[in-house]
Amino acid sequence: AEARPWWEAATIYQIYPRSFQDSDGDGIGDLRGITDRLDYLVELGIDAVWISPIFPSPMADFGYDVADYCDIDPRFGTLVDFDALLAAAHARGLRVLLDFVPNHSSDRHPWFVESRQSRTSSKRDWYIWRDPAPDGGPPNNWISDFGGPAWEWDAATGQYYSHAFLKEQPDLNWRNPELRAAMLDVLRFWFARGVDGFRIDVLWHMIKHADFSDNPVNPDYLPGSGEKNRVLQLHSTDQPEVHDIAADMRAVADGFAATEQERVLIGEIYLPVERLVAYYGNARPGVHLPFNFQLIEARWDAAELSQRITEYEAALPPGGWPNWVLGNHDRSRIVSRVGEAQARVAAMLLLTLRGTPTLYYGDELALADVAIPTGRAVDPQELREPGRGRDPVRTPMPWDESARAGFTTGDPWLPLNPDHPTRNVAVQRDDPASMWTLTRALLMLRKNTPALSVGSWHLVEGEGRLLAYERRDGDTRVLVALNLGATPVEMNVPHWAAGCRPLLSTLAEATEPVEGLLRLRGNEGMILGTAA
Ligand code: ISL
């Protein structure tokens, strides 16, 4: 086989560390907890974990407000625990990716504390400070992602500072060379410790237009869709200079790449496909994987999915490796978006597309969003824009049928899913019809069938209820046929697939070879191939 970087055929699993496994009874997940569960991930068939931020933080945004980029928050453990986690993961062939949050720090970071001391502070320019508008108001009309102005007044020094997110998350100034060097050193610090890569938070936000002109008003704004959508983020995001930053980070990663340990950079970027693919780089390489959220944005509809997949495949630059995401800690879970039967088909879709899939913890159990009782909401977004909060998708992982689901011996920081006594790892592992068993079977089939991970992708059908495509690697051809509707559907299989056997169905074992006509039950997905 040709040599490929490890991450091309890998499946990544996102761990939200507060919610995965608590080891000390404080109700908050931690690093030792993750280490204890590494065998679980290997058993499931995972190749790499991405852990949401674990650095010291006041937790205004649950770790996406970093107060020290080169240490571990005591709630999660210590650097010693981290080194142990990394060693234990590597011993099992698992890679570990951390979450780099470079657009903003915490307002408690010593850099910001120093920056706000005075206009002449040596760190003043490490953040984005502007004079007020002539009327004393904010310098422009930019809106924070969490609603409200993206500017906070600092009375002591008479200027506003920019914050694309909470006021507790001041934006770092990447146009300042010292700040830039200090942040690239953060990557070096963790790479030298052995981490295999980073997910880069809000990469497309990292540089703002030098003129700070007003953003245009969004003519299609729907009230209730989030106040940030009142304006288009034309001048506050996706500036040309952001690609120089991505290239600088890539150069650092490449500097640490060894034959056995190529480091991977994944950019979090919510942009239309044609803008997204620019993040692969141009004159200089950018990130390896600009996160592709097409499956999160899509309605559960064959025509729409086939169009989005085709468009994304066609937009990839030469050498640009695809990737797919079905859920994350910011978005409603797949089960709650499309339904439980449909989520099984969605898992088959995620794990049979060309490129690197990222699986969100709990999705292997078909975990749904959890309604959080009034008074228990903790996400700042919920407190600012009720109904838009992300707590429902961040609830603790249910491991077993015990009172606290094996997650903690204390009080879990967010409520468990009420169905945890029946929906948990222990129960599903023993159930041949469970989502867990299906997910594992998909991951094993994908591992043993290079056509499914790295093979080429060809659309066969994308209309009505049916989405079907071919995956091909050398002589191996695999047909994936997904019925997105609740009623049966029939499909004339391509001539090459006649005589193929079902390798896996989302519903039940099917073994009869298919002749001309493939019959799929409602919400059934099937993988057919020539393999044994
Ligand atoms: O989900 C989104 C896309 O529609 C966004 O609003 C998302 O919250 C935003 O793109 C950035 O998310 C990331 O940065 C935030 C943090 O709160 C999120 O958890 C993180 O994923 C600020 O660091």
Within-domain flag for 450: no
Within-domain flag for 425: yes
Q: Nearest 5°: CA angle at 256, between 251 and 257?
A: 95
- Would you say the CB of residue 64 lies under 6 angstroms from ligand 1? yes
Predicted ipTM of the assembly = 0.96
Task: Please list the residues that pair with 456 across neighbouring strands.
Answer: 472
Nearest atom in ligand 1 to 228's CA: 6
- Would you say the CB of residue 201 lies under 6 angstroms from ligand 1? yes
pLDDT higher than 70, residue 365: yes
Q: To test ligand 1's pocket by mutation, which of 109, 143, 145 has the most ligand atoms within 8 angstroms of CB?
A: 145
- Would you say the CB of residue 248 lies under 6 angstroms from ligand 1? no
Q: What is the 8-class DSSP label of residue 77?
A: -
Reference 123, options 66, 170, 75; nearest CA is 170
Same domain, 262 and 180: yes
Segment 313-364, tens digit of pLDDT: 999 999 999 999 999 999 999 999 999 999 999 999 999 999 999 999 999 9
Same domain, 233 and 330: yes
pLDDT higher than 80, residue 260: no
Reference 10, options 261, 254, 250; nearest CA is 261
Segment 193-227, tens digit of pLDDT: 999 999 999 999 999 999 999 999 999 999 989 99
CATH number of the domain residue 503 falls in: 2.60.40.1180
Same domain, 72 and 195: yes
- Would you say the CB of residue 382 lies under 6 angstroms from ligand 1? no
What is the β-pairing status of strands 264-267 and 197-200?
A: parallel
Nearest atom in ligand 1 to 390's CA: 19
Which whole number is the average pLDDT over 244-262? 94
Q: Nearest 5°: CA angle at 239, between 104 and 138?
A: 60
pLDDT higher than 80, residue 57: yes
What is the β-pairing status of strands 129-130 and 159-162?
A: antiparallel
Within-domain flag for 448: no
User: How far away, in angstroms, is 465 Cα from ligand 1 center?
Assistant: 32
Same domain, 314 and 383: yes
Segment 126-162, tens digit of pLDDT: 999 999 999 999 999 999 999 999 999 999 999 999 9
- Atom 20 of ligand 1, residue of closest alpha carbon: 201
**Residue 357 pLDDT:** 98
| Cα torsion through 86, 87, 88, 93, rounded to 10 | 90
Q: How far apart are CA 449 and CA 437, in angstroms?
A: 18
pLDDT higher than 60, residue 486: yes
Within-domain flag for 167: no
Same domain, 49 and 195: yes
Pick from 443, 478, 503: which residue ends a domain? 443
Nearest atom in ligand 1 to 64's CA: 23
Nearest atom in ligand 1 to 331's CA: 1
Same domain, 186 and 257: yes
CATH number of the domain residue 305 falls in: 3.20.20.80
**Residue 259 pLDDT:** 74
Within-domain flag for 312: yes
Same domain, 325 and 418: yes
Token look-up 């679980």 returns: 40
- Atom 1 of ligand 1, residue of closest alpha carbon: 330
User: How far away, in angstroms, is 164 Cα from ligand 1 center?
Assistant: 10
- Would you say the CB of residue 330 lies under 6 angstroms from ligand 1? yes
Same domain, 391 and 481: no
- Would you say the CB of residue 202 lies under 6 angstroms from ligand 1? yes
Q: How confident is the model at residue 531 (pLDDT cuts 50, 70, 90)?
A: low
Pick from 380, 414, 443: which residue ends a domain? 443
Within-domain flag for 187: yes
CATH number of the domain residue 137 falls in: 3.90.400.10
Same domain, 346 and 462: no
**Residue 510 pLDDT:** 66
**Residue 235 pLDDT:** 97
Q: How many helices (H) and strands (E) does the chain have?
A: 15, 18
Within-domain flag for 374: yes
Q: How far apart are CA 520 and CA 237, in angstroms?
A: 44
Range of 34's domain?
6-105+175-443
Same domain, 192 and 338: yes
User: How far away, in angstroms, is 390 Cα from ligand 1 center?
Assistant: 10
Q: Which residues are catalytic?
A: 201, 268
Q: Nearest 5°: CA angle at 166, between 146 and 143?
A: 50
Reference 277, options 220, 244, 236, 323; nearest CA is 323
Q: How far apart are CA 352 and CA 458, in angstroms?
A: 12
Same domain, 182 and 322: yes
- Would you say the CB of residue 165 lies under 6 angstroms from ligand 1? yes
Pick from 443, 468, 501: which residue ends a domain? 443
Within-domain flag for 267: yes
Overall domain count for the chain: 3
**Residue 368 pLDDT:** 98
Q: How many CB atoms lie within 10 A of CB 531?
A: 15
Same domain, 368 and 257: yes
- Would you say the CB of residue 385 lies under 6 angstroms from ligand 1? no
- Atom 6 of ligand 1, residue of closest alpha carbon: 145
Q: How confident is the model at residue 532 (pLDDT cuts 50, 70, 90)?
A: very low
Q: How confident is the model at residue 94 (pLDDT cuts 50, 70, 90)?
A: very high
